[in-house]
Amino acid sequence: MKLAIVGATGLVGQEVLKVLEERHVQFDELFLIASAKSVGQTMKFKQKEYTIKSIEEGCTLGADVAIFSAGGGTSLDWAPKYAQAGTIVIDNSSAWRMDPTKKLVVPEINGKEITTEDKIIANPNCSTIQMVLALAPLHAKYKIKRIVVSTYQSVTGTGKDAVQQMMDEREGIEGIKVYPHKIDKNVLPHIDSFLDNGYTKEEMKMVNETRKILGDQSIMVTSTTVRVPTVGGHSEAVNVEFFKEYDLKEVREILERTEGVIVQDDVKNNVYPMPINSHGRDEVFVGRIRRDESQPKTLNLWIVADNLRKGAATNAVQIAEFMMETTLIS
């Protein structure tokens, strides 16, 4: 198999390479592709030097799979060209997520929907992935009526420059600014651009993507997404109302059995998910599991995951693995 990583020098691209190595993904050739300023430079992967290629050249190399982590504009321009050249594109941007002709995939939930006809497959938003991975089995059992979610998202979700801005502020250095306000020792209720309805694009992604992944347009979702000064790991306070009554013990048992989920919920010993402990991990951590005492059939959860791992790189690699295991990729 020939594998291409588009956006190999970015935070997610770098994480994809780590995940490939850790999971021992087998391939015959690897192409590292990045923007024009990086073309010709070299990168080391598993003790081998690779020369970074342009996206134009990458399209001619006959890759079987290309994992795109280079932004929505690049994906809109180039994913169809790669697909037309015979390459299956797994795209990390928001470009194709809500396209009705494209699958939006979390392998543990809806990987079986992928067919040989799918040439561009969308990777969901990082915040959506971690939430739906925990909620999907509960939806299957109790049927979700409404979700209220507030997120606390790491600066790594914005990229390298955002991390640099926070570090510069911490050191008192005047440097690059990617946020409209200071981020160190601050929180910004502002992720992506604002829409006419007063919500941000990030907030509406969580609304629309959740419905698409769970296959249920009747689920009511409202979201507030907030940027916090942490490096790695998104956290979410999730309030979910079901149509059916649930048993709290059974909820815990369902979550403990769910692939990719780890329950950390021992408040007597101060055990609960925290982003600092999720860093570099592929699992989604769930804790603070408790009944909402203000209304019936409603549950509170605290959900944490490394946004660069399961929220992006790991999920993309898992899609490729799933396709290889099910012979959708030869």
Active site residue 59: no
Instruction: Tell which residue, 296, 293, 236, 300, has the closest CA to residue 267.
Output: 300
One-letter amino acid for residue 172 of the chain: G
Phi, psi values for residue 265, rounded to 5°: -150, 70
C-beta of residue 193 within 8 angstroms of C-beta of residue 200: yes
Active site residue 126: yes
Name residue 179's beta-bridge partners.
none
Q: From the candidates 24, 59, 139, 234, which is the catalytic residue? A: 234
| b/e map 158-187, b = 16+ CB within 10 Å | beeebbbbbeebeeeeeeeeebeeebeeee
E strand spans, 97-247? 103-104, 120-122, 144-153, 220-227, 234-242
- ∠ CA 261-263-264, nearest 5°, is 135
One-letter amino acid for residue 75 of the chain: S
Name residue 44's beta-bridge partners.
49
Alpha-carbon distance values, 245 to 25, 236, 242, 291, 305 (Å): 42, 23, 7, 11, 28
Long-range contacts of 318-324 (CB under 8 A, 24+ apart): 318/107, 319/90, 319/105, 319/107, 319/111, 319/114, 319/121, 319/123, 320/3, 320/25, 320/65, 320/67, 320/90, 321/23, 321/25, 321/107, 322/107, 322/111, 322/114, 323/65, 323/88, 323/114, 324/1
Q: From the candidates 126, 139, 181, 190, which is the catalytic residue? A: 126
**Residues annotated catalytic, as ranges:** 126, 234
